[in-house]
Structure 1
């Protein structure tokens, strides 16, 4: 149903654009400025622009470059329920220092020009095929170069976290951290970007967002958030992309819930079976049929997934033993071997790489 809704939107937009020259460019920018019907400001007053943008995002420094006489900012903003669609340009080089965003993620897709974006320890040179995502728990500094224009998707951090938990069917105890570099030529991100552009086009035609919330508004937003979680590398990407077999048995569901709630505890098959309300043999057969492994094999995989997320989330100074114990492993040697087999590197390697820091 969800895919059908999006397909209908995209097909409708394409049909309307078939008679226009340069269809692809028209689809990307239906009006002179995307979201032109949702104009928030258009001004050459630096302080007014800074204060107005800060009201929608967060407080920040805004420093025009040497060609400050050409500063001419535009911000279009269409508010949804858990996210907002935005178009911004500044007209000249600007330095933007927001620090930590705190309570939202910000996906930035350049339409023209480029920018240098640092989030945490990673710096990205953004272009029309390389976007960025700002993690709220990492400090950000940016330079938007003259001619830079971007579409921005602001996502409430709580909504994103809750969406991830619903998809995985388990609690996530640490903030999700994305790789700040969004490679828009990756197949999954190409598909997600099309949905994002379709949402902008619908908002441009007053079909959703802004003052007119569509009856499927929550569905549109969930698709955008879930799609980005599935497409963009993050500290939970290995869990999001792992095959999730359909499980209908209430007993299997109870067993899974019990294991996920007791990852750090030395639980036994008998305890899992008791929580599920079935015999050990019945539990073993059910897991073999549904997941192709034993209950303990399933438990080990979930513990490894949790350890991998921790290794990407905690500080570099954290001991491997602390990660192992928190994930329910009590033999460090066996933990390291299993971790390497699952992820192709040691826990220490993951800690030192810290790709998303």
Structure 2
């Protein structure tokens, strides 16, 4: 009779939990993590040392088709977060300690990848996009995507549905859009995506701030700005609609636009919504403002919000701080608010507050 195989003693559950916690701590403490911590930390999907859990989370959230570890024997840790702003646009974050190969199915999503640390390759048929820290790449819709992550990678991914692109493009051009917007991925590397990347970075930073009416205002306006920057900065099959001469909006439409902005300064406003309200294209409205007023509709909106802030700061019985007033008037960053206020009124908002309370 042969000897029974010797079984290893069971590893205490507490030791396993401690090891997993150490792996996550190592992931967060490595050079791939900045001092501000994890982006989208208020919208975390998963933080795990179990590759099976990560695979299941990605399948639930993004309908992934394939998830494979480069070396199953190596330690693994991963984190992911996602914020879906509306049905048409979302922002995701992921970090991997371990090489991973993931496949995503065809969809109506256009994806913009922003590299934060480490290396990754995002591939579509006929194109490999090499993502590096501080760079961004774009992959169009209606194609399967394969993502190969090297250990230490961190990235943000903006996902935009074709429906959102079409609506914004119609507002920009004043023309109906038939068919999908097709970007040239090769042309979208580097400088063409730099404005989009900057806006995505700002959006991710503001999502880490506490929820507030000001953050909600800025969030909606940043999302609109990202889509506009994408459509106006990256070549696509409808780019010809955004070049060439266009007619200025008449003074009557500029007047109506200013009245609409003044009545809705405390709501999320986009240039597309303003143009739809007065019945012209975004390009025509911009040209009309420049011709009739010498400034843009967005600058007029900021002025109206600063005027409201000025009135609130001058209230003699007011109990609000400068930060409270900034938040109430749609400015989530107190430093930016102070700079804009000083540009418009020549003094810091704190001085206006003291003057108001001295009366």
User: Shorter-chain TM-score category?
Assistant: 0.5 to 0.7
Which residue does the alignment assign to 2:5? none
Q: Alpha-carbon deviation of 1:139? A: 2.3
Q: Partner residue of 1:164? A: 169
* Contact kept? 1:131, 1:182, Cα under 8 Å: no
Matched with 1:118 is: 123
Can you list the C-alpha shifts for 1:65-119, whole angstroms capped at 9, x where unaligned? 025532211002223123222210121111111131x132221111111112212
Q: Secondary structure at the match of 1:137?
A: coil
1:142 corresponds to which of 100, 123, 147:
147
Inter-partner Cα distance in structure 2 for 1:175 and 1:189: 20
The higher radius of gyration belongs to: 2
**Matching residue of 1:98:** 104
Query: Partner of 2:89 in structure 1?
Result: 83
Q: Find 2:210's aligned residue among 206, 210, 213.
A: 206
Q: Distance in 1 between matches of 2:141 and 2:202?
A: 26
**Equivalent of 1:190, from 189, 194, 208?**
194
State the alpha-carbon separation in 2 of the partners of residues 120 and 80 from structure 1. 29
Shift of 1:202: 0.7
- For the aligned residues, what is the CA RMSD? 2.9
How many Å separate the matches in 2 of 1:30 and 1:84?
Answer: 24
Cα deviation code 1:163-213 (max 9, x no counterpart): 112211112222112223475641x5323322211111110113479xx97
| Residues 1:216 and 1:205: Cα distance change in structure 2 (over 3 Å) | closer
Distance of aligned partners of 1:249 and 1:77 in 2 relative to their CA distance in 1, 3 Å threshold: same
Gaps of 5+ in 1: 1-27, 251-289, 291-357
CA distance in 1, matches of 2:199, 2:249: 29
Q: Does 1:32 align with 2:37?
A: yes
Cα distance change of structure 1 residues 165 and 51 upon mapping to structure 2, 3 Å threshold? farther
Equivalent residues in 2 for 1:175-324, closer than 5 Å: 175-181=180-186, 185-186=190-191, 189-207=193-211, 214-248=216-250
Partner of residue 160, structure 2: 155
Q: Secondary structure at the match of 2:97?
A: coil
* Unaligned stretches of 5+ residues in structure 2: 1-32, 253-287, 289-359
Q: What does the per-residue CA deviation read over 1:255-313, in whole Å, with 9 as the maximum and x for residues that have no partner?
A: xxxxxxxxxxxxxxxxxxxxxxxxxxxxxxxxxxx9xxxxxxxxxxxxxxxxxxxxxxx
Per the alignment, in what secondary structure is the counterpart of residue 74 of structure 2? Answer: helix
- Distance between the aligned counterparts of 1:230 and 1:29, measured in 2? 31
Distance in 2, matches of 1:147 and 1:39, equals: 18
TM-score by length of 1: 0.55
The answer to which structure, 1 or 2, has the higher relative contact order (CA under 8 A, 6+ apart) is 1
Q: Distance in 2 between matches of 1:30 and 1:83?
A: 27
8 Å contact kept, 1:43–1:72: yes
For residues 223 and 243 of structure 1, what CA distance do their matches in structure 2 show? 23
* 53-62 or 153-162, larger mean C-alpha shift: 53-62
